[in-house]
Amino acid sequence: MSSTISLVTVSYFSGDDVVTCLNSVPEASIRHLDIIVVNNAAADDLRPTLEQFEGPDSRTGDLTLLEPKANLGYGGAVNFAAARLAPEIEWILVTNPDVTFTPGSIDALLAVAEADDRIGMVGPRITNDDGSIYPSARDLPSLTVGAGHAVLHRIWPGNPWSKRYLRADKSHSAQTEPVQSGWLSGACMLVRRAAFEQVGGFDDRFFMYFEDVDLGERIGNAGWKVLYVPTATVGHAGGTSTAAHSAAMTRAHHRSAYRYLAKRYHQWYLLPVRLALRLGLFLRALVGTVRNHG
């Protein structure tokens, strides 16, 4: 089949993961996929690593390596790639490099996505190495639930707000049919290019984390359907590129959590709430950083 889909993945010293990910693509789809790898680590030379995916003998589609010479963040790097897509590309498969596609999984996503012109994005069931369900799709958090979960989950995992927010993980684990969702995990999502461009792509002010929540909300608000597709399954290894930077990632996560909640609840009369959120998330990030160093 002709290429109407482009896979975009972002590497940050993730060469081995990229290889594993791309090696799983041929069994996941009968289609020809254009492959774009954005190298967010200027000091990491990926060209020798990716040579095996180039040329007529490659089992994947045409591969393009983009090197912006700076770390653009996850959403910013995907935007960088999306702006360079060929005109015929209709779908953007955004995936972490540490994702492994199961046989037929990409075609299962496409079968659902192409069945309805109002579908803006679909996402698969994502599993961890131990077989448990990685957070694949969730409802958009309300102010109270989102704030309670964001501030308290690390120090009080059993708090009622986190239980309410995370209950979607249990309900989705039992799903067998596509279901409407508020947002899909940025670890793996198939986005209609028209929807992506209509909302301006990822908000690259989210350097890392919550860019997927924000994108799902904006695509849904623009009138597109956002669907979780449990019949498509991918594996997620868990972010090896960030493991060595856990303290920095903790801080980035909390900055993004505040940015998302402040953006969603921007009204002037909610200023006291935003200030309380900022303080609470700062303290939670501090606790998390101390634990990571402990």
pTM of the predicted structure, to 2 decimals = 0.80
Long-range contact list for 101-104, CB < 8 A, 24+ apart?
101/21, 101/24, 101/25, 101/27, 101/28, 101/234, 102/24, 102/27, 102/28, 102/233, 102/234, 102/235, 103/27, 103/28, 104/27, 104/28, 104/29, 104/232
What is the reported pLDDT for 3?
Answer: 59
DSSP code, position 132: P
Residue 1 has pLDDT above 60, yes or no: no
H or E element at residue 246:
helix 246-264
Q: Tell me: the pLDDT tens digits for 70-84?
A: 999 999 999 999 999
Q: In which band, very low, low, confident or very high, does the pLDDT at 239 lie, cut at 50, 70 and 90?
A: very low
Q: Does domain 5-241 have CATH number 3.90.550.10?
A: yes
Residue 81 CA from chain centroid, whole number: 15
Q: How far apart are CA 67 and CA 143, in angstroms?
A: 38
Q: How far apart are CA 209 and CA 256, in angstroms?
A: 6
DSSP code, position 202: S
CA dihedral 109, 114, 115, 121 (to 10 degrees): 60
Q: Environment class of residue 237 by beta-carbon count within 10 Å: exposed (0-12), middle (13-18) or buried (19+)? A: middle
Q: Environment class of residue 258 by beta-carbon count within 10 Å: exposed (0-12), middle (13-18) or buried (19+)? A: buried
The amino acid sitting at 6 is S
Q: Tell me: the pLDDT tens digits for 4-48?
A: 999 999 999 999 999 999 999 999 999 989 999 999 999 999 999
Q: In which band, very low, low, confident or very high, does the pLDDT at 290 lie, cut at 50, 70 and 90?
A: very low
Q: What is the mean pLDDT of the chain?
A: 82
What residue spans define the domains of the chain? 5-241
Q: Which residues of 131-151 are buried (b: 16+ CB within 10 A; e: fewer)?
A: eebbbbbbebbeeebbbbbbb
